[in-house]
Structure 1
Amino acid sequence: MKMEDIAKMANVSKSAVSLAFSGKPGISADTRERILQIAQEAGYFPKSRASTNAAVRNDRSLLFLVCTNSGIVLDKYSQQPFFKELIQFIEERCRQRGYVLIFSTVNMESFYKEIQMVAEEKRSDGVIVLGTNLTREQITYIHDNLPNLLVLDTCYDTLPVQFVEINNVMGAYQAGSYLCDIGHTSIGYMASDVRIHNFEERRRGFMGALAERGIAVADADVISVSPTILTSQESLKKQLSAYIERGRPLPTAWFCECDYIAISAMKTMAELGIRVPQDTSVIGFDNISESVIVTPELTTIHVEKERMAILAVDQLIEAIENGPQVKAKFSVDTRFVERNSCSAPALAMQAADNK
């Protein structure tokens, strides 16, 4: 991608794009912000800006590398609530530590070629890779080509790489324990149809909490849905409608592998006349900002995104400034957040009797 492409996307002149990147006057603040946002989303960042800023401000730079077009990480990843919040905390910590954060996007369709290009550019002192959707083999390849690397939002224990991840097992265990403790025994599971490390760990934690209490999720109560849609889903509507058509009662509660799925589920249920939490409870995972906008507000698992960002930046800078050290892997604990999308099954049954 070239500067001309950014100009077309922003509907401005090439000179306006140049002014936006150089920080020189000549365009409005709103135009500058819009151009930089478009460039960030497109994964474009000219070498000149990073080097100029570093020279003028005596800053060093970190590269935030994202591999898109693969499952849960979309082209416009910076607009996805979870990643948007995470990036904001990373940028803030970089500023506090005197580093410039630059961005680069790799298309998974040409993964190996583009990783080589990033390596040849040598644009930063260190690299934070968003590992959410990456396999062990892909992370190994990045590690072999990019020095001073830290991988965020996943973990492979046997790789000699620094990782910062969510304690997914703990978070899902908290969710499962809560549903059981308030009396649910008929529990459904809404899984992502895109499988990643985080979701596999959440499944393990949730099922573990239920197993400790002698409860199991029936195979028929496991539903597979898209993890990147916040609106109602036709495929989910068909799966839920099948319960109604067969006269089979819905589980009294559902665990969803992420807030996207939970919010989509509540909207889909509303269209079918299924009330939350009166007819069935819903619990999510991530605590994105949208979780308090929906009605009812979503019970969920809070991910400490700020803590993850601070750990990632600080650990990478330590490796850069102090030389090779023993690699470390950090798992950041979660926090349960109770809101209004869950209730005890007895309350749900009482509400049904009062219809």
Structure 2
Amino acid sequence: MKIEDIAKLAGVSKAAVSLALNGKPGIGAETRERILQIARESGYMPKSKSSETGPQKSLVFLAFTNSGIVLEEYYRQPFFRELIQHTEERCRSKGFSLLFRSVNMESFEQEIELVASEHRESGVILLGTNLSRPEIESISRKLPHLVVLDTSFETLPVHFVQINNGMGAYQAGSSLCRMGHTEIGYVASSVRINNFNDRRRGFETALAENGMSLAEKDVFTCSPTVLTSQPSLADQFAAYRKRQGRLPGALFCECDYIAISAIKTLTELGVRIPEEISVIGFDNISEAVIVSPELTTIHVEKERMAQLAVDLLVQTLEDPSLARVKTLVDTTYVERQSCRPPEVRTALNVNH
């Protein structure tokens, strides 16, 4: 019995199994007990340290949860799940195990002191998605061997590995313009983070280059962590259609979660996708090909980001004087079935 087998039986990720077996926070009590029960019943025995040929080398994956975007069970959120999986794989290839540590944002100061007392000399990959510049600065003072993943602040002397968010949203906006869309809406997250702000700037740049701009009346908002339809978003769509006479011909959504939720919400309103409205997401999570129609999106190189973060951290442990770097990982546009040119949409509407 392997960790992968336990994860499959429990219906959770390998990261969740690792958290449960190592007694680490970050999963609910019911989930933890289910994992441990399966492990006991299967006779799973983790490899003891005494059986190792040398001291166990490990890196720490640190996340601050319950902040509106990174939930307590963040390892089950598709984007983070894939990022963690690739990080674990890269650690193993480098001869390291990966320990998970998650702390609640509500007790930030106390928790970071505790983490620092336990891991000050450890190499730490910090999930920075939901963190501000002052928060990362505070963490970096207490954890000197640090690489921050999924955000970046250029004035901090810290290693960052970040998505080229502006480029990805620019690709999305440019693609819609090339298709011929001129009535374009924007679905924003109700929780604001650095990544989303960069995406909006990149998208607006693409529109400006094509002689257009994003009006506030064309901006909708919704939760970024819900994969089902959202009543508040349905109300916004209905009010827009009543006010304008029709919905925009296309929507760019700040992440795939939002895009999938928008598709489900629009479908419940009787709007056909892409015949009546095109939808583009961002992240290319695995669920993007499960939703119907399959989601056109911006692919984020999550495996490449994980590799860069682990490699940079290992180099920093070997040479702490290594100059700090900020790495942007470019994105690619992935065309699927949720988008089409407006002339096709209009032609189909004539027969509808």
- Scaled to the shorter chain, the TM-score interval is 0.7 to 0.9
In 2, Cα distance between the equivalents of 1:176 and 1:215?
Answer: 11
In 1, Cα distance between the equivalents of 2:120 and 2:101?
Answer: 10
**Partner SS, residue 165 of structure 1:** strand
Q: Is the Cα–Cα contact under 8 Å of residues 63 and 123 in structure 1 kept in the other structure?
A: no
Q: Residue deviations 1:191-229, cap 9 Å, x none? A: 001000100000010000000110112211100111000
In structure 2, the residue matched to 1:192 is: 189
In structure 1, the residue matched to 2:302 is: 305
**Partner SS, residue 177 of structure 1:** helix
Q: Residue deviations 1:26-76, cap 9 Å, x none? A: 6516x779xxxxxxxxxxxxxxx9x93895554311100000010210001
| Among candidates 313, 316, 320, match of residue 317 of structure 2 | 320
In structure 2, the residue matched to 1:243 is: 240
When the two chains are superposed, the root-mean-square deviation of aligned CA atoms in Å is 2.7
Q: Is the Cα–Cα contact under 8 Å of residues 24 and 101 in structure 2 kept in the other structure?
A: no
Is 1:28 aligned to residue 42 of structure 2? Answer: yes
State the one-letter code of the partner of 2:245: R
Question: TM-score, with normalisation over the residues of structure 2?
Answer: 0.88
In structure 2, the residue matched to 1:279 is: 276
Is 1:89 aligned to residue 103 of structure 2? Answer: no
Question: TM-score, with normalisation over the residues of structure 1?
Answer: 0.87
In 2, Cα distance between the equivalents of 1:54 and 1:204?
Answer: 53
- Residue 244 of structure 1: how far off its partner (Å): 3.0
Is 1:340 aligned to residue 340 of structure 2? Answer: no
- Residue 121 of structure 1: how far off its partner (Å): 1.3
* Cα pair distance change 1:313/1:175, threshold 3 Å: same
In structure 1, the residue matched to 2:348 is: 351
Is 1:234 aligned to residue 231 of structure 2? Answer: yes
| Among candidates 74, 79, 91, match of residue 76 of structure 2 | 79
State the one-letter code of the partner of 1:259: D
State the one-letter code of the partner of 2:221: S
Q: Is the Cα–Cα contact under 8 Å of residues 173 and 206 in structure 1 kept in the other structure?
A: yes
In 2, Cα distance between the equivalents of 1:206 and 1:124?
Answer: 41
**Partner SS, residue 317 of structure 1:** helix
Equivalent positions of 1:78-157 (< 5 A) are 78-122=75-119, 125-157=122-154
Is 1:292 aligned to residue 251 of structure 2? Answer: no
- Residue 113 of structure 1: how far off its partner (Å): 0.4
* Cα pair distance change 1:129/1:170, threshold 3 Å: same
- Residue 147 of structure 1: how far off its partner (Å): 1.7
In 2, Cα distance between the equivalents of 1:7 and 1:332?
Answer: 33
- Residue 112 of structure 1: how far off its partner (Å): 0.8
* Cα pair distance change 1:12/1:123, threshold 3 Å: farther
State the one-letter code of the partner of 1:346: E
Q: Residue deviations 1:305-342, cap 9 Å, x none? A: 00000000000000101332110110000010000000
Equivalent positions of 1:160-175 (< 5 A) are 160-175=157-172
* Cα pair distance change 1:3/1:195, threshold 3 Å: closer
Consecutive unaligned residues of structure 2, counting only runs of 5 or more, are 1-19
Q: Percent identical across equivalent pairs?
A: 56
Q: Is the Cα–Cα contact under 8 Å of residues 49 and 55 in structure 2 kept in the other structure?
A: no
**Partner SS, residue 173 of structure 2:** helix
In 1, Cα distance between the equivalents of 2:186 and 2:119?
Answer: 44
